[in-house]
Structure 1
């Protein structure tokens, strides 16, 4: 990658840096297998809430705090007081409003923010064609196949990275041309296969320089919805492994090519408004007075919640156990563990339980029987330090794989477009017995995996070091 970057101009390298920063501004979307809830403002964690409000209003038309009528209702109900607002104002830096200004503002809701328009939105206004919806549909149709991990019956061919694969797809996709974007397939075919060069060309033609690019790039990524967030997850995982991933910026290039083509088609009608939009992107990002007031109200509400919580929690010290407990068990800090902890402690006064976060410091991964996929069995934010596999002989493993492949092939044959109807006509009646067995609960059960074994096996010195790390993290050092 560095050898390629050396051939780029200084102006393009500046846009590369901006694009990579815009990619980090998008929060990652973890798949359901990870079950991770992500702060939607993760990409803005290093800036004040008022500046985040200004940024997301510009690039997404998003309100980051509740309406003022919500806060007014809390004050009327006594859940939030002017003392909380005064405390929030005292903690603010810079030109903060006063309490009188807050009182007046509480009686007036602000309008919902409106994001700066994209070329597609401006083109839709002058043409009457919903270009943003079309772009979302065509990128989604391609991305659903490109990022598929084995669920689809028919797999899309993948050539190179995301931008190269989309370029092959879009150069044969006639849908945009049918709806009025004449010559789009040829336009895509003429783009450079290197997504950075595609971004550079689109930026030049659209007049987006380094000053406008930070929020303009962020705006285009926001229009991709969940695909940009999933690509950010791929970048997150790559960085966790000490690697690199350019999928987010490749999606940015894809989105910019659409707007570049639309600007070539409708530029005469939208040039003036697009120039105003670029100028707005170039303007320094700063919160409005209303956004600062809304931030104060948010801070005041959080202080009120802290005060209410402090009044609920009992004051005192936990009982001190005398002597060594008969049994001491550590559980993960999880609401599901509390039932077991309390039930165990109720069995006798000599039983003590502890709570600890982080899977006891043992982030692990496991490879199931008959599988080449190593799955993480711990926090996805941590790199696994221990790997296990299903322990069975090579012959048993091969037999399991052959059986699984035969079942997959039979299942695909049943569902394939060219064989499904013939299959139902020929063998449908034979499934009557299976349907009866399944309905009565007499169907077979999946075989369980063999017992796991560490791979590679850990020697005694390594196990002792791991035990020491876990116990030290739990403060069990005496």
Structure 2
């Protein structure tokens, strides 16, 4: 390193920090935790290049290790045909039939690279760029991590000394308070107090201290950002004034300069010879596999240009593609010859609209078994981007995808004014009591007196809650005042034009523009769990990590509005007068579906609704027996219902449900292409009929919103599986909650970024298979092309191969796959599966990956 010619300006330094910060995605606090791709900043790169960059900068592989892929190949989980098809798909030269002469042996490019995939030295992730402290003193580096984490927790957590009470910036509060820290030496405290007022200038001082400038500066700053990716991701997300990555990096670099000896000098890193040695070993291994002399110069000259077609990261990409082809084949909708119906369809008892969430796939299949209920899939916010104000006066929540901004605030109210007032007072008193208890437990002094006075009561309650969780919940339910009948004011806050727009958009997107049943059930979902910091990860992703109840109620009110229906008829959608939209909520832990406003159902529909609830309960029994069998510690099918109810109430239960583990595909098309097929709860199913969407606006919304969210979920589960220590949250028993912002593993360290291991695996075995989202769309190809051209986010995911996109025009057409050079015919088609009821989808098995 050379001395700086001039000190970089604060503006330049802020730009460098912003660039370094793009290596990590924003992290959402616990109460709004939703799945996000933790490496979304790399999506602008082709997947192979991104894998290489992530391995270099984060020190992890965003896929299974290459040796693990080879093990799967040896066991038949990856077939030779899939491996060679993936090779031809990834490397155009592998499609050539030209024969090469290598040491007296004839071989094609495909054969040479096929051997390379099996015998080359596996790709590994090198250690990421270290900070100066990490290079000079790992002990001091760990101390810097600890001190920095504590200060960010105090700035963004709920500690009584949080700087939010004073309004100071995080940097200013740190300079003032850390300068008084008795655990630091007098010299370090003095250095903190006299550090620059501007955090960017403090970073500049560190750059001068280490004589760093230019491109090396960004690498230096990235090393500090990625030293604690969890805290850095949270800081990137927060909107708190004075809390940003510049302040975080300034704290770290200032501590580093003060804690390391003043005469410390960074050692120069010699160029690594590992890559050259690896190339030689690779050539020799492939030569031996071909049966030729590995030390023959001519052989090495002949192999080198062929092997150059596939660098280690691209080789990993071929394995990933081959692995995914097997999964895609299990989930691809079949090509079915067109059949003209011989008689008009019978009007069903009901149509039930569920969220596209993978957990609804098996429930829908069970509900359809008797044939008089049709199901559809639609994003759980039901096209109503709202914020919701509960009747109990609790905080307003944004109940819509994070890609959208709530248009209006929906308020829950009741005509039973006296009853709602009493209930609200009881609820408020309960919330205040719980908050007081929490504050006493978190206080630095009060817990001792609190334990003496109330410990006997809380101890007994904790014992009952632990030994009999179902009984405890039943007791609490009896004590609580029942909630009065309430309604939401959707038709008041939305104008008629807005109601019609939302209603038409939703109906055309799901293909429900005619043939309405007497009952149309709009079923949101949520998860009832106890003592789970990541509870929002089990809720509805389409509702911003909240339950879908308010959206279902608002949508039902809009669809039942006579003025809205009259306007829809003028737009070609005629809802019969006897069709009633009913809001419901599914608990994904217990599979119970509850009607949200049963008191509002007219007498004319009571019989139909009674039959519907009976069939919903039958589907619940069947689905629970199927779904809960895969949970750790599950009993027999006869005990499934009780077991799920126990899991929802048990505050010590680590496996309340599997959430979206196993998610693999996003299927857009009419229900007929997947009906009767067991997809193993691995597919997001979005109903769509191209004929009901003449201008393609519905499909555009599906591909630019629900598909994007599905890709976030898929990427989050994958990252938490392959890199649980970097992008996951570690095991639940070690979690230590930090206010409302996140969890630590133990008493210190970095904020955990992703999902707990119990969401993706058991013990050391993974439940989730880490694959990219496989997208199947049944729609005109030209329409999909237009959407790809118009949407940068969709185009990025497709062309950079972060998702696998397949499209077909209609159910009897073959699938087209987007490749490196545009569309090409795909070979995943299977035989006619109409009427199939046997298991089709491959359920992930528990695989050792660590």
Fold similarity call, TM over 0.5: yes
Distance in 2, matches of 1:117 and 1:473, equals 50
Alignment-derived partner of residue 315 in structure 1: 335
Q: Structure 1 pair 454/320, CA: closer, same or farther in 2 (3 Å)?
A: farther
Pairing 1:209-248 to 2, within 5 Å after superposition: 209-234=213-238, 247-248=244-245
Alignment-derived partner of residue 365 in structure 2: 342
Distance in 1, matches of 2:144 and 2:197, equals 20
Distance in 2, matches of 1:168 and 1:175, equals 15
Q: Structure 1 pair 425/105, CA: closer, same or farther in 2 (3 Å)?
A: closer
Distance in 1, matches of 2:30 and 2:382, equals 23
Which one of the candidate residues 94, 98, 103 is aligned to 2:115? 103
Alignment-derived partner of residue 64 in structure 1: 62
Give deviations 1:382-418, integer Å, cap 9, x for gaps: 3223422343669766785466446634664576444
Which of 441-450 and 294-303 deviates more? 441-450
Distance in 2, matches of 1:467 and 1:317, equals 33
8 Å Cα contact 2:392-2:427 kept in structure 1 = yes
TM-score normalized by the length of structure 2: 0.45
8 Å Cα contact 1:88-1:296 kept in structure 2 = no
Which one of the candidate residues 333, 349, 357 is aligned to 2:356? 333
Q: CA deviation at 1:362?
A: 1.9
Q: Secondary structure of the residue that 1:268 maps to in structure 2?
A: coil
Q: CA deviation at 1:339?
A: 4.6
Alignment-derived partner of residue 3 in structure 1: none
1:453 and 2:488 aligned: yes
1:250 and 2:259 aligned: no
Q: CA deviation at 1:44?
A: 0.6
Q: CA deviation at 1:249?
A: 3.2
Q: CA deviation at 1:369?
A: 4.2
8 Å Cα contact 1:71-1:106 kept in structure 2 = no
Alignment-derived partner of residue 91 in structure 2: 90
Distance in 1, matches of 2:436 and 2:53, equals 50
Distance in 2, matches of 1:361 and 1:124, equals 55
Distance in 2, matches of 1:136 and 1:471, equals 52
Alignment-derived partner of residue 5 in structure 1: none
Alignment-derived partner of residue 171 in structure 2: 163
Q: Structure 1 pair 176/131, CA: closer, same or farther in 2 (3 Å)?
A: farther
Q: Structure 1 pair 157/475, CA: closer, same or farther in 2 (3 Å)?
A: same
> Where is the helix percentage greater, Structure 1 or Structure 2?
1
Which one of the candidate residues 180, 202, 211 is aligned to 2:206? 202
Give deviations 1:323-348, integer Å, cap 9, x for gaps: 47444332211233235433443444
- The unaligned stretches of length 5 or more in structure 2 are 1-6, 95-108, 273-306, 514-572, 574-850
Q: CA deviation at 1:379?
A: 2.9
The number of equivalent residue pairs is 436
8 Å Cα contact 1:68-1:294 kept in structure 2 = no
Distance in 1, matches of 2:250 and 2:133, equals 15
Give deviations 1:199-240, integer Å, cap 9, x for gaps: 3332333333232233322221111131112223336xx9xx
What is the CA RMSD across the aligned residues, in angstroms? 4.0
Give deviations 1:232-251, integer Å, cap 9, x for gaps: 3336xx9xxxxx98623322
Distance in 1, matches of 2:181 and 2:191, equals 12
Q: Secondary structure of the residue that 1:36 maps to in structure 2?
A: coil
Q: Secondary structure of the residue that 2:44 maps to in structure 1?
A: coil
Which of 30-39 and 399-408 deviates more? 399-408
Distance in 1, matches of 2:149 and 2:213, equals 28
- The unaligned stretches of length 5 or more in structure 1 are 1-8, 239-243, 281-287
Q: Secondary structure of the residue that 2:261 maps to in structure 1?
A: helix
Q: Secondary structure of the residue that 2:265 maps to in structure 1?
A: helix
Q: Structure 1 pair 98/17, CA: closer, same or farther in 2 (3 Å)?
A: farther
8 Å Cα contact 1:110-1:290 kept in structure 2 = no
Q: CA deviation at 1:307?
A: 5.2
Which one of the candidate residues 184, 187, 191 is aligned to 1:183? 187
Q: CA deviation at 1:133?
A: 1.3
Distance in 1, matches of 2:136 and 2:26, equals 30
Give deviations 1:46-65, integer Å, cap 9, x for gaps: 01234334433443322334
TM-score normalized by the length of structure 1: 0.75
Alignment-derived partner of residue 6 in structure 1: none
Q: CA deviation at 1:124?
A: 0.8
Distance in 1, matches of 2:501 and 2:403, equals 22
Q: CA deviation at 1:462?
A: 2.8
Alignment-derived partner of residue 32 in structure 2: 34
Q: Secondary structure of the residue that 1:83 maps to in structure 2?
A: helix
Pairing 1:43-62 to 2, within 5 Å after superposition: 43-62=41-60
